Amino acid sequence: MKKSIKNIERLAEQRTKLAVERTYLSHLRTASASAIFGFGILELFPSKFSQLISAFFITLSLLFIIIGTYTYIKRRTSL
């Protein structure tokens, strides 16, 4: 019985680690999509307004990377 409980706890910990990694990867995916969108706007529409929108999305992608990395490190060290 005790062996079964240890296995359940170990599997739960592994699932949690995998969930943290999936969340981090989703942050990186969102960041790359935002950066690609920002650079695409910049290339397709060369105006001042599109430069502002492009800068917004590129900055947003950097924020996603920073927040995602911070959250990943914080959750990973707490396990």
Task: Compute CA distances 33 → 10, 18, 24, 26, 74, whole Å.
Answer: 35, 22, 14, 10, 24
Reported as a single tens digit per residue, the pLDDT across 42-69 is 999 989 999 999 999 999 999 999 999 9
pLDDT at 1 over 70: no
Q: For the chain, how big is the Rg over CA atoms in Å?
A: 19
The tally of domains found in the chain comes to 1
Mean pLDDT of the chain: 93
pLDDT at 12 over 70: yes
3-state secondary structure of 26: helix
pLDDT at 5 over 80: no
Q: Which domain holds residue 69?
A: 2-78
pLDDT at 8 over 90: no
pLDDT of residue 59: 98
How far, in Å, CA of 77 to CA of 18, rounded? 14
